[in-house]
Amino acid sequence: MPYPPRPQLRPLPEFAGTAAPRPDPAVQARVERFVLDGYAGGRSLHELAELTDRSHSAVRNILDKHGVRRRPTGAEAMPASASARRDGHG
């Protein structure tokens, strides 16, 4: 029996539509802080990309820029209850 697809997250209002070739430095700083904090809290690159309205590569580049060591592929997922609380849905 196949697994159901992972629900896709909507970009947070503060980040929706802010991706640009030359983003506003203040917005970019907020995106980077959100990505760093979210990744440290257990969120996946895909979740962070969806929430910040950025590509998976953009999120990966932010982590690399800040010297964050990435978790291995297929790492244990964050518990659903913790994920829901972080989104304000729990």
Mean pLDDT of the chain: 86
Report the 10 Å Cβ neighbour count for 7. Answer: 7
Length of the chain: 90
Under DSSP, is residue 56 helix (H, G, I), strand (E, B) or coil?
Answer: helix
Question: Which residue ranges make up each domain of the chain?
Answer: 25-66
Q: Which residues contact 23 (CB under 8 A, 6 or more apart)?
A: 31
pLDDT computed for residue 2 by the predictor: 84
Provide, rounded to the nearest whole percent, the portion of the chain with pLDDT above 90.
64
pLDDT of the residue at 41: 96
Give the pair of three-digit tokens for residue 18.
Answer: 């802010």
